[in-house]
Structure 1
Amino acid sequence: MESLNVAFDKLRAVVPQGGDDTPLSKYETLQMAQTYIQALKDILVDKSD
Structure 2
Amino acid sequence: MKQDVQELITALAHSFCKGLSLEESEVLGMLLYSIGEAMLDLITQNTLKN
TM-score for the superposition, normalised by structure 2? 0.57
Q: CA deviation at 1:18?
A: 2.9
Structure number with bigger Rg: 2
Can you give the 5+ residue segments of structure 2 that lack an aligned partner in the other structure?
1-11, 46-50
How far does residue 23 in structure 1 lie from its aligned partner after superposition?
1.1
Q: What is the aligned-residue RMSD (CA, Å)?
A: 1.9
Unaligned runs of 5+ in 1: 1-16
How many residues align? The count is 34
Q: From 30, 34, 39, give the equivalent of 2:30.
A: 34
